[in-house]
Structure 1
Amino acid sequence: MPRVADHDARHGQISDAVQRLIVRDGLAAVTVARTAAEAGMSVGLVQHYFTAKDEMLLTTFTRVNERFTARVDAAVNRGEAEGLTIAAMLRQALAELIPLDADRRAEFLVRLAFSGQAAHSTRLATAQRETLAGVRARVRQAIDNGTECGEVDKGVDTGQQALRIVAFAEGLALHTHIDPAGTPEAAVLAALDDQLGRVFTGTCRQVRRS
């Protein structure tokens, strides 16, 4: 058990260093030597865990997505306890993809760097595609749940709407990154509400328990 814990801790230490380098200096700064210096460990130790830059980037990307998923799960649990609508909970979840604070900005920069690198790596492109499919699947499930309780009209193409909603959220994320002053949080959330309101047009029939 201690070896597994140490292994996980080292991976986390290295991926955190990779994220800091990307945020501060860009993907080009992510080398084994600079990552080791940033993480406060030897080059040999970094190479013990990772043999290539793409592997470090993949682990960092995976950890970013794990943190995103954990926040979304926590938000859903809170929303269910508070009796929020499915649309409101989905809006909170999608907002976690948008760089509206320092932590989400850092994660967005990792995703952006990963996307650029994935254009030239089949392995990274596969991970990127699977991650996108996972996000779309969660949105599709939210729409299905909305259909069951009456927030969404029957007959809505859940796959098509999930594609549109996720693409819209990712577009907002990019705009917020490029022009944060011109894309304030209130405007972002209002835009999400408007987009979701095109799909979640009804009222849930189910009684929610607090």
Structure 2
Amino acid sequence: MPRVADHEQRRRQIADAVCALISESGLDAATVARTAAQAGMSVGLVQHYFRTKDEMLLHAFKEVSAHIRTRADRHIEEGIAHQQPIARVLAGALAEFLPLDDARRVEFRVARAFAGRALDAPALAEVDVGTARALRAEIARAVHNGKECGEVEQGLDPWPAAVRLAAVTEGLAVQIYRDPDGVEGISAAALAAQVLEGELAAVFTGECRQYAGRSRSAR
């Protein structure tokens, strides 16, 4: 068990080194030699875990995507536990995809660099597409659940709504990364909240019957 844990720790350490190099100097900086130096390892040890640079980059891309998903999933779990409206839960989850602090700006820069390379690298493209599909599916599921509990109109198709919300989130991330200080006196965080709340309000137009009933019975 300890040996398995050590292996996973080293793989994460290498992925963190790759991301640090990409964030500071771009994708081309993430060579095996520089990654080894950044991680405080020998080149041979890095190559023990990843035979090629492409394998190393693929693992780092998966790690970045997993980190973002883990935080988004945590918002969903906490929202369900605290019986929050689906729209509010989704707003918190989508915000994890936005570069609103230093850590998320690094993730965004790294993810964008990988997305560019994915145009010519099928393995990276598979991760990129899979991440996008998972986000759309999660949003569509939230819209479907909203229809069941009364937050969403019965006639609304979840998939077009999911595509629109995902597209808004992706475009908003680009805008915030480009102008991290916000626009015309509105901070990036406040701007992001306004945009997401407005888009979600257009989809989640009602009130969840389940949570509303519990709230009234608790009075």
Does the residue aligned with 2:78 lie in a helix, a strand or coil?
helix
* 1:151 Cα deviation after fit: 0.5
1:29 matched to which residue of 2?
29
The answer to whether the 8 Å contact 1:21/1:27 transfers is yes
Q: Deviations over 1:36-81 (max 9, x none)?
A: 0000000111111112222222111211222222212221222223
Q: Which amino acid aligns with 2:115?
A: S
Q: Which amino acid aligns with 2:41?
A: M
Q: TM-score, normalised by structure 1?
A: 0.95
Q: TM-score, normalised by structure 2?
A: 0.91
1:7 matched to which residue of 2?
7
* 1:83 Cα deviation after fit: 2.4
Q: Deviations over 1:130-186 (max 9, x none)?
A: 111111111111001101001000121111110110010000001111111235110
* 1:103 Cα deviation after fit: 1.1
The answer to whether the 8 Å contact 2:182/2:191 transfers is no
2:69 matched to which residue of 1?
69
* 1:84 Cα deviation after fit: 1.4
The CA RMSD measured in Å over matched residues stands at 1.4
2:196 matched to which residue of 1?
192
Runs of 4+ residues deviating >4 angstroms: none
Unaligned runs of 5+ in 2: none
Identity within the alignment, %: 50
Q: Deviations over 1:177-196 (max 9, x none)?
A: 11112351101111000011
Which of residues 197, 203, 209 in structure 1 aligns to 2:207? 203
Higher relative contact order (CA 8 A, sep 6+): 1
Q: Which amino acid aligns with 1:108?
A: F
Greater mean deviation of Cα atoms: 10-19 or 43-52: 43-52
The answer to whether the 8 Å contact 2:58/2:123 transfers is no
Counterparts of 1:4-153 in structure 2, within 5 Å, are 4-153=4-153
* Count of matched residue pairs: 210
The answer to whether the 8 Å contact 2:151/2:205 transfers is yes
- Tell me, in whole angstroms, the C-alpha distance in 2 between the residues paired with 1:81 and 1:158: 24
